[in-house]
Structure 1
Amino acid sequence: MASIPEGLLDGGAWFRVEAAATASAVRRTAERLAVEIGMPERKTADLSIVAAEVAGNLVKHADQGVLLLRTVRAAGQAGVEIIAVDSGPGMADLARSFGDGHSTAGTLGIGLGSISRQSDWCDMHSVPGKGTVVAAQVWPDGPPEPAWAAGVTRPLTGEPVSGDAFALRDADGRRQILMSDGLGHGGLAAAASHEAVRVFLEAPADQPSGIVELLHRKLNHTRGAALAVAELDAEAGVVRYAGLGNISGTVFAPGGARRGMVSLPGIAGHQRRQIRQYDYPLEPGSAVVMHSDGVVDRWNPADYPGLLTHSPVVLAATVLRDAGVRRDDAGVIVARLP
């Protein structure tokens, strides 16, 4: 497997986990990824246990359970991440479910303690009646610092690749995220978004409007993309945002209050009237959520107690589960600074 640049997450492989055979395939795929990135045998064994427990729980207890398996990279090392998502029945007392031997017909209790012990990092959120999201990572040399931003993409049903992509970077102290939606679907849409990610990660440090301008120039040989760049400046207490096309950006305050951010009409690489940057207040603990038009703005943080305090990847996966549509590629990226 080719190395994954810092700031970029592998799109990974999605599994619909409804039978024991699929759970076994997840475990074998996880072990193969571990070998490809050179993970030590001891850590590969840990990963195998985590994969088996997560997938097995989906088979035994979940409704519409799906699992994303992907390579992640940070702090000069590559690891493997497992994200499991289901749509019911959820758990009212997640902490109690971590106890070994705890299991009821209405929870994913079996194995949560093992997942927590064998992984280097994990996070879980569950709401009765809505379902559970579990994210776990195994790293060869121990976990890096918790990620300040993370995202998830999913292709249109029937397509092998997603035209949506995301990336994050810290460029000379500027913490910035990109969300890109390649025009259309399939390989050409994916190629446009992959080029946007490449340009974004290699661009000189600049404000979001300057980066969007650069992206517009560099994508002229592609199909084009709707895209947006946000910069989180905790010291100044602002989010700087610039976008072209149907990318939605929202700032969620810790209490759940939301403020939408403005993307202007256009297609990066082909059409634009103007590129403008807007500044929005950023309270400590706020979450910045950006997504493609394959995700609708119909979810309400009040329906997910405590979700805004969880990791960016769990928040992104929850939004994708409940607000993503199957008739389009879908992508979400979430960023939060202390």
Structure 2
Amino acid sequence: MNARGELLTVDCEDVAWFRDQPEAARGSAAALGRRVGLGETRTAELVLAVAELAANITKHAVNGSLLLRVLRNQDVAGVEVVVVDGGPGMADITAALRDGTSTAGTLGIGLGAVRRLADSFDIHSQLGIGTVQVASFWPRASRPARTGQVVVSGITRAIGGEEVCGDGWVARVDTGEQTAPAHREEATPRRDTGLVPPDWSAMTATRPPGGPVSGASRGSDALPRPGAKGRSVPVRAAVAGPGQGTLVMSCDGLGHGPMAALAAQAAVKAFRTGDTRTPEQAMEQVHRALRGTRGAAVAIARIEPDGRVLFCGVGNITSALVTSTTRAGLVSHPGIVGHQMHQLRTYENRLPAHGVLVMHSDGLSERWVPTDLASVLHHPPALIAAHLLRQAGTRRDDASAVVAKAAG
């Protein structure tokens, strides 16, 4: 939340991943700092921090990667650095952050200096598992004032060999001022738009007559969830509650590459600029925006201030409410947003105390369990999402994960 007690969300643009490319990471950090207007001094501090982090992962980490991305709110833009590796992990994070401590072969400023240079810095490490670090840099004169954590964040990674990612995510705050009417539980069946090529079902593995659901049209409830508990309740007339609610969307453009990215970008734009209040209304808006594109699997949730969660999903975005010991799957239905949506249903559940909402594309395996996230649930959403990507991500498809917490 910010100083006025408003929920805090930021727009995120994942710019580039780097593996064993410290010089390229430093050069891109310098260009990115200038592009978003950090200023000369702040950009130099960003580059220094990136140089230390990149040198660390190059010399000492297993499967280390560094992500540079842009953060934006309505007033200012900044840069966030995400570092993920597969080991060996740190036995004593406190010692690693102590001044004067730096691993051999790096620039020697140490993680403690990186933490001081950054406006925010979070780290989680486990021996034998690896380390995740997230650092953000805002312009000194206009950094956003805030009194709490960002309540939603996510991460995307393109399939190997592609420059753009066909997955996307976005969040926005509903101030409660809109007066859009509530939707019915079931929408009118939709006709095909006529834009689907003849072999579309073969390309997307949609449900053949009398056959099983698979591929992009498979609902996220098609397979049992490890550790799933609780149940979702269908809502006949989903109504947004009073106060500020957080709306979150995760989308996966069909396939990968530029055409999938165009579909994801259209979905993100429609959701970000929309004024709908419920997930079902937002899904209708995204559906209209995706006509003429490849289409996408989409999941949309609304988290109320009291912890109530409204959810509407089409396609195989995996969505769950997660605590350190439980994972309750949220129900999606078959379809392709932008092409084939039949009946929309909104389901209601409740975000458990100290729990998070997780949504991810099929670029992550569904086989993760609650204990995989137990040690990071007290960290900000960006770190949780990066940790999950490291734990469950595959290299066979575009990947994205988004995590939302209740405001606190």
Q: What does residue range 89-238 of structure 1 map to in structure 2 within 5 Å?
A: 89-102=88-101, 111-140=110-139, 141-145=142-146, 146-172=149-175, 173-235=244-306, 237-238=307-308
Cα deviation for residue 7 of structure 1 reads 4.2
For 1:205 and 1:213, the matched residues in 2 are separated by: 9
Cα deviation for residue 284 of structure 1 reads 3.3
Q: Could you say what secondary structure the match of 1:175 adopts?
A: strand
1:321 to 390, 395, 398: 390
The aligned amino acid for 1:211 is A
Q: Which residue of 2 aligns with 1:252?
A: 322
For 2:373 and 2:249, the matched residues in 1 are separated by: 25
Which segments of 5 or more consecutive residues in structure 1 lack a partner in the other structure? 1-5
Cα deviation for residue 298 of structure 1 reads 2.1
Preserved contact between residue 301 and residue 307 of structure 1 (Cα < 8 Å): no
RMSD: 2.0
**Residue 277 of structure 1 pairs with residue 276 of structure 2:** no
Q: Which residue of 2 aligns with 1:80?
A: 79
* Counterparts in 2 of 1:332 and 1:78: CA distance versus 1, 3 Å: same
**Which protein shows a greater Rg?**
2
Cα deviation for residue 143 of structure 1 reads 4.9
The aligned amino acid for 1:149 is V
Preserved contact between residue 245 and residue 305 of structure 2 (Cα < 8 Å): no
Preserved contact between residue 365 and residue 394 of structure 2 (Cα < 8 Å): yes
Q: What does residue range 61-80 of structure 1 map to in structure 2 within 5 Å?
A: 61-74=60-73, 76-80=75-79
- Give the TM-score, by structure 1 length: 0.91
* Counterparts in 2 of 1:46 and 1:181: CA distance versus 1, 3 Å: same
For 1:152 and 1:31, the matched residues in 2 are separated by: 21
- Number of residue pairs the alignment of both structures matches: 326
For 2:385 and 2:377, the matched residues in 1 are separated by: 10
- Structure with the larger RCO, 1 or 2 (CA within 8 Å, 6+ apart): 2
For 1:88 and 1:102, the matched residues in 2 are separated by: 19
For 1:295 and 1:222, the matched residues in 2 are separated by: 24
Preserved contact between residue 327 and residue 370 of structure 2 (Cα < 8 Å): no
Q: What does residue range 300-315 of structure 1 map to in structure 2 within 5 Å?
A: 300-303=369-372, 306-315=375-384
* Counterparts in 2 of 1:295 and 1:266: CA distance versus 1, 3 Å: same
Q: Could you say what secondary structure the match of 2:11 adopts?
A: coil
For 1:189 and 1:124, the matched residues in 2 are separated by: 32
2:332 to 252, 260, 263: 263
Preserved contact between residue 156 and residue 400 of structure 2 (Cα < 8 Å): yes
Over residues 180-236 of structure 1, what are the superposed CA-to-partner deviations in whole Å (9 max), with x where a residue is unaligned? 10011111110001000011011113200111122122211111000010111132x
For 1:103 and 1:300, the matched residues in 2 are separated by: 34
* Counterparts in 2 of 1:76 and 1:282: CA distance versus 1, 3 Å: same
Cα deviation for residue 100 of structure 1 reads 2.3
Preserved contact between residue 75 and residue 144 of structure 1 (Cα < 8 Å): no
For 2:132 and 2:145, the matched residues in 1 are separated by: 21
Q: Could you say what secondary structure the match of 1:221 adopts?
A: coil
- Give the TM-score, by structure 2 length: 0.76
For 2:254 and 2:137, the matched residues in 1 are separated by: 34
The aligned amino acid for 2:143 is G
The farther-off stretch of 238-247 and 138-147 is 138-147
Q: Could you say what secondary structure the match of 2:13 adopts?
A: coil
**Residue 10 of structure 1 pairs with residue 13 of structure 2:** yes
For 1:190 and 1:55, the matched residues in 2 are separated by: 28
* Counterparts in 2 of 1:300 and 1:91: CA distance versus 1, 3 Å: farther
Runs of 4+ in 1 over 6 A off after TM superposition: none
Which segments of 5 or more consecutive residues in structure 2 lack a partner in the other structure? 1-8, 176-243
Cα deviation for residue 104 of structure 1 reads 6.5
For 1:225 and 1:304, the matched residues in 2 are separated by: 27
Instruction: Select the structure that is richer in strand.
Output: 1
Identity %: 43
The farther-off stretch of 66-75 and 261-270 is 66-75
* Counterparts in 2 of 1:155 and 1:265: CA distance versus 1, 3 Å: same
Cα deviation for residue 41 of structure 1 reads 1.8
